[in-house]
A = this chain, B = another copy of it.
Amino acid sequence: MPESVAASVAALANQVMSIGDLAERTGLSVSAIRFYETKGLVTPARNAGGQRRYLRSDIRRLSFVLVAQQLGFSIEDIRAALASLPQGRTPTQKDWEKISRTFHNQLEDRIQRMTRLRDYLDGCIGCGCLSLKKCQLVNPADGLKKFGPGPRSVLGDRLRR
């Protein structure tokens, strides 16, 4: 049985696919998928010829990566999240539920933080803060303060990046 037929059978039976197929399915580039492998986000099997063979569940895995990145999570964040998924078997619904709950919570945090910043901005515009017309009156000790007003109070502890 030639490789091509074997591959087709395998593709139908075991749901494996090449990196090119996976790229088409996820909208990622082939190079990005290989890169993600070096970062531990996917761990494909290899066929006899050394080519990568992906499971159908890897489509979800990479889709998850895409979504998470859109939301501003780093690859390391995502790797950590995905680490809770099984490597050998196809993840069950419970597996995904667990990971998604964490994800959802972090997402809620971000949405809240953004909303808070938006409101802060509105507030400043409202009070004329940003034009420095009123804030100097409201906050006369400005020049003496180690930590003045401004985004830091909104941004929290994130100083000196």
**A112-152 interface (Cβ within 8 A of B):** 113-115, 117-118, 120-122, 124-125, 128-133, 136, 146-148, 150-152
In this assembly, does A26 line the interface, its C-beta being within 8 Å of a C-beta of chain B? yes
Instruction: List the interface of chain A (C-beta within 8 A of B).
Output: 24-29, 32, 56-57, 59-60, 63-64, 66-67, 70-72, 90-93, 95-97, 100, 103-104, 107-108, 110-111, 113-115, 117-118, 120-122, 124-125, 128-133, 136, 146-148, 150-152, 154-155, 158-161
Q: Which of B96, B113, B122 sits near A125, CB closer than 8 Å?
A: B96
Q: A27-B151, A90-B131 are in contact. List 6 more A-B contacts (CB 8 A).
A: A70-B158, A107-B114, A107-B117, A111-B114, A111-B115, A114-B114
- Give the 10 A-B residue pairs with the shortest CB-CB distance, closest first: A93-B131, A96-B130, A63-B150, A27-B159, A67-B151, A66-B151, A63-B151, A100-B125, A107-B118, A93-B128
CB distance from A132 to the nearest CB of B (A): 6
Across the interface, do B132 and A70 meet the contact criterion of CB distance under 8 Å?
A: no
Complex: A161 Cα to B113 Cα, angstroms: 27
